[in-house]
Amino acid sequence: MNPAAGHDIYADLHLHTLFSDGTFTPEELAARGKDFGFAAMSLTDHDSVEGCERMDIACRSLGIKFIPGVELTAEFEDKEVHLLGYYIDLHNKKLLAEIKKFQTVRQDRIREMTNRLNQLNIPLRSETVFAIANCCAPGRPHVARALIQEGLCSSMDEAFNRYLKKGRPAWVPKRKISALDAIALIHQAGGFAIVAHPALNQGDEIIAPLAAQGVDGIECFHTKHTAKISRHYLNMADHFNLLVTGGSDCHGFSKGKPLIGTVKLPGIYLQKLRAAHLNRKNLSPTATPAAS
């Protein structure tokens, strides 16, 4: 993964497909990554790794390195924290079993949301949401799309602002795994646990204790991080000797214009992540190799 002479390499390591709340297929996402010249990409669907094998095949066909990933919603000291897992073993039985539980929680949450909408005389059926989602990890964007499809809202913004945002009548809190359990789950699957978009979750004060508990890195580059914020988290990563990652958090068209291409993780950080992965594999002869 050495850069070509005179050129750096870039990656987008935070992407979603229709296997969670994105709108692109893995193949469409890989093709867009090729258009932007990415040397590496990772698929980090919420509570799902179903699209990773297809994304791997698509990336390989385009000469792009693929890093298997996942995004887990966790909680630490009463704060919501999103954790990205990179270089996970996609066939790890414990990881898959836990993800299955998370998906059941998501499906139950959809049923409760539609139930609350029904109590407001909004005639939306959970089956309609599941049909639109067509995946095992449905979320609020799928409810919003269903409301639009049924003529009950005119836009995603209206659906969230009227019904689905926190504090609105159909909002249902999501049961979360503890951050420490999520880190342990990612580690036992051979992966690296990264704090996602910390500025979105006011995560400064939790980075130090999470680093002490084994978190491996910080997502310093993100669509919602300004250059100043990115520098701030780069300094924190350096201080705590953590890996640095970054990505667009692209959800396709589900949240407006696709964000892929708006954030480019510089190759130096990509190479450090890959070096850490290779070093961990060499130190763990019994580990099942992940894609590299």
Domain boundaries, the chain: 10-98+175-283, 108-164
pLDDT exceeds cutoff 80 at 178: yes
- Contact criterion met (CB below 8 Å) for 248 and 261: yes
| Residue 213 in tokens | 């508990």
pLDDT exceeds cutoff 60 at 285: no
| Residue 181 in tokens | 């359990």
CATH homologous superfamily for the domain 10-98+175-283: Metal-dependent hydrolases (3.20.20.140)
0.85 surpassed by pTM = yes
Distance in angstroms (rounded) separating the CA atoms of residues 12 and 38: 7
pLDDT exceeds cutoff 90 at 7: no
Report the interhelical angle of 179-188 vs 204-212 (nearest 10°).
Answer: 50
Distance in angstroms (rounded) separating the CA atoms of residues 141 and 133: 9
**The pLDDT of residue 1:** 44
Q: Which 3 state secondary structure label does DSSP give 214?
A: coil
By CB atoms closer than 10 A (0-12, 13-18, 19+), residue 30 is buried
Least confident of 63-72, 115-124, 278-287: 278-287
pLDDT tens across 38-79, in order?
999 999 999 999 999 999 999 999 999 999 999 999 999 888
| Residue 43 in tokens | 């698929």
